[in-house]
Structure 1
Amino acid sequence: MRDGSLGRVVALVRQDCRLLLRDPAPLIVRTVMPLLIMVFMQPLFRAALRADGESDANGAEQGVPGMAVMFLFFLVNIVGFAVFREHGWNTWDRLRAAGARTGELVAGRVVMPLLVALLQLAAVFGAGVLLFDLRVRGSWAALLVVAVPLSLCVVMVGMALTAVCRTIAQLSVLANLLALFFAGLGGALAPHATLPDWTRPLAPGVPSYWAMRGFTTVILDGGGVADVLVPAAALCAFAVGLTALTLVFFRADQRKLSWS
């Protein structure tokens, strides 16, 4: 990337950082909400895990990664809002007039949400250890190997939806539906073995399944980095496919509306 291109991407990242620091409430809420749900749902998660053969489980082994994955996908809204915000403020054309290319605009809007996603995961898992007695039998490095491509995948879901949605209402509805659908089908709300039989052949088609597979391999089975390479590779494949989709359908000259 040439110096001018890098400078434009850095400028976009700095802007997103300033806006996040000015109003960190969305990040705080998305971090606190999964922990609040855990307070009420941990007994159910414990019963589900013990019914699945994990006799010494306390529920945090399912609840913490499950709620972390579920609420991470609600970050999709925030990713899209960054683009729609520029259109609502009538500053998008200024970015284009400054010479920013489509790839630079996409890259500039990916970096900060990616860092936020990783921070959110770290906060939820850390609070899970401190507040809910989460016991990780495997390697924390292996959790990171899953967390990084998962975060990138979530961000690129947001960018792909932004590319195909024309209004912020469309984005919001699709993002929320996908977050709930991914949570249910991927095993974030309950252990995958307890879900209806018809979900099992469909589950590998959503990234949340691979995220939960990777996290539970480490947390419940004591897995290391080598044991989560397949889930991590699957998440990378999702991220690559979503990136390609974004670059194909994203049009810098398409007007995005902040209303229906």
Structure 2
Amino acid sequence: MGDGSLGRIFALVRHDARLMVRDPAPLVVRTIMPLLIMGFMQPLFRVALRAEGVHDANGAEQAVPGMAVMFLFLLVNVVGFAMFREHGWNTWDRLRAGPARPFELVAGRVVVPLVVALLQLAVVFAAGGLLFGLRVRGSYLGLVVVGVPLALCVVMLGMALVALCRTVSQLLVFANLAALFFAGLGGALTPHSALPEWALPIAPAVPSYWAMRGFSTVVLDGGGVRSVLLPASLLCLFAIGLTAVTLAFFRTDHRKVSWS
């Protein structure tokens, strides 16, 4: 990748960062909301974890990673909207006419949401420790090893939906459905052992399952980096697959319908 390509990607990153800093309210709300819900869910999760034999659990061991995963997938809307607004502002044709290639247009739109996703994860886990008494029995580096591919997976899911959806309404519907479906099936809303029988065999087919498995290995089982290599690797495979879908279906000449 030459200097010119990096320069074009950096220009897109700088543009997205400027817009996000100008209106940070949606991201602040998405970071505060999981903390509010944790306060209501923690007692329920305490009972569920103690019933599973974790006698010293206070509920934060499930509430913090669960809400972190669920609300991280709600960032898919933010990723998609960043692309659709260019069509709403009638600036997409100008981007197409520029020297940036399709790969550069995608890459430039991935960086800022990825940084935001990582920051959101860090804030939620840190606040979980300070406000709800989350005790991480394992390696904090293990949390990072799971969190980075999870964040990348979320961002690439947003890009894949951009490539597949024609209207912003379609994007919002599929993104919200995916967030709720992944949260339920992946064990973010309840410990995995409490899922209905029909869900157990298909749960490993969603990335949130492996994220929760990795976080639980570190938080509850005291695992380290080596203990989470499997879930982290599978999250990377999900991200690679979503990237392939994005590159296969993303077309710069596809006209998107935003709010108009």
Shorter-chain TM-score: which interval?
A: over 0.9
1:86 aligned residue: 86
Question: What SS is found at the alignment partner of 2:85?
Answer: helix
What residue number does 1:36 align with? 36
The residue that corresponds to 1:15 in the other structure is: 15
2-structure distance, mates of 1:118, 1:200: 28
Aligned to 1:26: 26
Is the contact between residue 80 and residue 171 of structure 1 (CA under 8 Å) also seen in structure 2?
A: yes
Query: In the alignment, which residue of structure 2 is the partner of 1:77?
Result: 77
SS in 1 for 2:222: coil
**C-alpha distance in 2 between matches for 1:121 and 1:81:** 20
Partner amino acid, structure 1, of 2:203: A
Paired AA for residue 257 in structure 2: L
Cα deviation, residue 41, structure 1:
1.1
- Which residue of structure 2 aligns with residue 201 of structure 1? 201
Q: Which residue of 2 aligns with 1:107?
A: 107
1:40-93 superposed Cα distances (whole Å, 9 cap, x missing partner): 111001111111111110000000000000000000000000100111111111
Q: Check conservation: 2:34, 2:124, Cα contact below 8 A.
A: yes
Conserved? CA contact 1:113–1:155, under 8 Å? yes
Task: State how far apart, in whole Å, the 1-side matches of 2:26 and 2:146 are.
Answer: 24
Sequence identity, in percent? 75
Q: CA deviation at 1:24?
A: 0.7
Whole-angstrom distance in 1 between the partners of 2:142 and 2:42: 24
Q: Deviations over 1:131-174 (max 9, x none)?
A: 00000000000000000000000000000000000000000000
Q: Deviations over 1:18-49 (max 9, x none)?
A: 01110111111011000000111110011111
- Single out whichever of 237-246 and 93-102 deviates more from structure 2: 93-102
Give the letter aligned to residue 235 of structure 2: L
- Count residues in correspondence: 260
Is 2:220 aligned against 1:223? Answer: no
CA RMSD of aligned residues (A): 0.7
What is residue 192 of structure 1 aligned with on the other side?
Answer: 192
1: distance between equivalents of 2:3 and 2:220?
46
**What is the TM-score normalised by the length of structure 1?**
0.99
1:172 is the counterpart of 2:176 = no
Give me the whole-angstrom Cα distance separating, in 1, the residues matched to 2:71 and 2:257. 26
Distance 1:216 1:21 in 2: 33
Q: SS of 1:188's equivalent?
A: coil
- Give the aligned partner of residue 136 of structure 1: 136
Letter matched to residue 38 of structure 1: M
In the other structure, the counterpart of 1:160 is: 160
Structure 1, residues 110-149: CA drift from partner, whole Å, max 9, x if none? 0000000000000000000000000000000000000000
Instruction: Tell me, yes or no, if structure 1 residue 45 matches structure 2 residue 36.
Output: no
Q: Following TM superposition, by how much is the alpha carbon of 1:259 offset from its aligned partner in structure 2, in angstroms?
A: 3.7
Unmatched 5+ residue regions in structure 1? none
Aligned structure 1 segments of 4 or more residues deviating by more than 6 angstroms: none
Counterpart for residue 237 of structure 2: 237
Whole-angstrom distance in 1 between the partners of 2:58 and 2:67: 15
Native 8 Å contact 1:210 1:231 kept in 2 = yes
Q: Tell me if structure 2 keeps the 8 A contact 1:52–1:194.
A: no
CA separation of 1:21 and 1:259: change in aligned 2, threshold 3 A: closer
